[in-house]
Structure 1
Amino acid sequence: MMKRRAFILACGSTAFAAGGGGRLKIGQIGTEHAHASGKMAAMRSLTDLWEVVGVAGAKGYEGVPSLTDEKLLGMPDLNAVAVETRIEDSCATALRCIEAGKHVHLDKPGALKHEEFKTMRLEAEKRGLTVQMGYMLRYNPAFVLLFQAVREGWLGEITEIDAAMGKLGDAKQRGILGALPGGGLFELGCHVIDAVMTILGKPQAVTAFSTPTRDDGVKDNQMAVLQYGKATAVVRVNHVDPFGGPRRRFNVTGTEGTFEIVPMESGRVNLSLTKARGSYKKGMQSFQLEVPKDRYAGEFTDLAAVVRGEKKLAWDAAHDISVHETVMRAAGVWQ
């Protein structure tokens, strides 16, 4: 476990490296996911890496050929597919792409049922195909630096992680959450749990809490405690927080320091160290890292390098399967 965790942390710190070579071909199935248009824009912006050959979905994108699933997957020179369907359809769609011999970018959280997700993920592994989960925090510069800090021991032994990822959900959002048994923590908290487990691995135990603010059956205010041998991680997801965006945070504390990112995707870091590390001094310091305007570009830059065989994806099937299980436990829907 420790060797695999070190590998994930090491690869995560160099995720943006992509070499030369001709453009790869990619398509998209589904336009219903909340990230669908953003993922399409990211792929189309990386013109030196990807040629977007088509989209199959309920709605199209100007300048992108609209195709059926079968037509898209039938292209022999298609390298990868971004799956951006509804969560109910995402895993089955990913499996069809894998069976067609394509690499997959699968948006989060991947599946409603764990056995379906596990089967899909292991089938890709058996065929030597990559499934890249759509967890964009993996590629955020502040998280890349955090993974480096943990890997190189800047913070000592990790004793706690405290994270919150909330928002003020409107009526449409509440309708989406109400259809998910795991609520907001399943739909949004999966991003945070993936980052927690990149650092600490699979927890020994998970305790889920849900305190809904209304009587409409929506799990809009949740918390989970992930327990480890010498650490705990607390994850909160609150969909009735009017300042949910700016309050999003990720704080890691160890025996020799603390690394805090707030707001979560801002690149703003508060770092406290018991001794100087690299270019960072002993004591407390705050700094701003440059964050790319496109939050998804790093994902598809990394995927191109993986598809070309220039590197392995840092997050393997065992990690993704463990994350999916932990997300379901944290959301109170594990069976």
Structure 2
Amino acid sequence: MVAKRRQFITDSILLASSAVAFPHVAGAAQSKRIKIGQIGTAHAHASGKMSAIRSLPEIFEVVGIVEPDKERRKKAESAAAYQGLTFLEQDQLLNTPGLAAVAVETEIEQLTPTAIQCLKAGMHVHVDKPAGTTMTECHALHDEATRQGKTVQMGYMLRYNPAFELLFQVIRDGWLGNLTELSGTMGKYANDATRKQLAAFPGGGMFELACHLIDAMVTVLGKPDQVTPYAFRSHPEKDTFADNQLATFHYPNLVATIRCNHIDPFGGPRRAFEVAGEAGLFQIQPLEPGKVRLGLTQPHGPFKKGFQNVPVRKTTGRYDDEFRDLAKIARGEKELAWDSKHDLAVHEAVLLASGMPIN
């Protein structure tokens, strides 16, 4: 069942990426621009997501943005990403004629309840990560999407990273053989302001940042049988932030490990993801831009036996392909490759890896 599910996911991802690689094919089916709005500017990815949407004017019409917090709204009004946009109340945005989708970029605590309101209004939603602080919230989100017949696209950006797309294809084609290891690390050096913000979550950086890697892990391996978290608080005199974490994910034939280190001065370039099998090895480091090293015991396709650096396609922006995919979904041209079963498995793994309760 895991293998069939992984086959479906990776086939869908490849179909999505082929439309990006051959825009003349995708463009033939495009119709009028999709009306989209954004709620919230508090999320760390908020301005980047709006910049990505606005970089695709042939696809999207941004009808407005909602920011109920007066201080954040004032700051956003002067930010380049939001220049010239109309600020609306939430009810105004959701009642805009023809609105098809909303990007939810609030503070983490409000992501899921805000997205549910958008779904009830009949919108597809792009919801930044993670999907709330409990499984109850995540279930409610996907239950509402099912009732409304709408799509929840979680903001796990590595799904559309060309290096990860290639990884999913290599695994789909069986080039690595039986998988024996999976490991990943994603960290950075957090300043005092970031530490204070993330200390509000007992799950620390594993919850807020390494969730990207957990999403990729579940795409490759499916739902883990058992998760064991380890958390260290390096500066208890300063705060309660879990700034150095490790989690192990137990599968029938292997144990995967994910690390998240927020006291790493070289956290960015050290970010990595690696999958090993009996017939090969796939390494991505750094994650962005994705640099790939592939090792094979036998040649496959254009790749030789042994180790080689593999070039991957360049993207126009960090989040652009997420929204290109969302446009296809809003037009009814395809379904999202990552379904609710996947998202629920990811969120449970994120919570458990972060040492957070799942209820």
Do the two structures share a fold, i.e. TM-score over 0.5?
yes
Q: Could you tell me whether the CA contact under 8 Å between 1:124 and 1:131 is conserved in 2?
A: yes
Q: Which moved more, 1:283-292 or 1:305-314?
A: 283-292
Q: Does 1:21 align with 2:31?
A: yes
What pairs with 1:63-142 in structure 2 (closer than 5 Å)? 63-142=84-163
Letter matched to residue 192 of structure 2: A
1:122-147: per-residue Cα shift (whole Å, max 9, x none)? Answer: 21023210000001100010000000
Q: Counterparts in 2 of 1:115-264, with a 5 A limit?
A: 115-215=136-236, 216-264=239-287
**Equivalent of residue 55 in structure 2, options 45, 54, 60:** 45
Partner of 2:11: 10
Q: Give the counterpart letter for 2:35 in structure 1.
A: K
Deviation of 1:288 after TM superposition, in Å, equals 3.0
Percent identity among equivalent residues? Answer: 51
- Cα distance, 1:62 vs structure 2: 1.1
Confirm or deny: 8 A CA contact 1:267 1:291 kept in the other structure: no
Q: Does the 8 A contact of 1:208 with 1:329 survive in 2? A: yes
Equivalent residues in 2 for 1:274-313, closer than 5 Å: 274-313=297-336
Residue 286 of structure 1, CA deviation? 1.1
What one-letter code is carried by the residue in structure 2 that aligns with 1:223? L
Secondary structure of 1:79's counterpart equals strand
Which structure 2 segments of 5+ residues have no match?
20-25
The match for 2:23 is none
Pairing 1:259-270 to 2, within 5 Å after superposition: 259-270=282-293
SS in structure 2 of the partner of residue 284 of structure 1 = strand
Maintained 8 Å contact 2:6/2:172: no
CA RMSD of superposed structures (Å): 1.1
Q: Secondary structure at the match of 1:26?
A: strand
User: Which secondary structure does the structure 2 equivalent of 1:209 belong to?
Assistant: strand
The answer as to whether partners of 2:134 and 2:357 remain within 8 angstroms in 1 is no
Structure 1 distance, partners of 2:48, 2:153, is: 16
Q: Give the gaps of 5 or more residues in structure 1.
A: none
The answer to whether residue 350 in structure 2 is matched with residue 327 in structure 1 is: yes
Contact 1:94 1:104 (8 Å CA) reproduced: yes
**Structure 1 residue 293, shift from structure 2 partner:** 4.2
Query: Contact 2:111 / 2:131 at 8 angstroms: preserved in 1?
Result: yes
Distance 2:228 2:190 in 1: 24
2:40 to 9, 21, 30: 30
Corresponding pairs, count: 335
Post-superposition CA distance 1:228-269 (Å, at most 9, x none): 001221000000000000000000001110000000122211
Equivalent residue letter for 1:96: Q
Secondary structure class of the residue paired with 2:16: coil
Provide the C-alpha distance between the structure 1 equivalents of 2:276 and 2:265, rounded to a whole number of angstroms. 27
* TM-score w.r.t. length of structure 2: 0.91
The residue identity in structure 2 corresponding to 1:25 is K
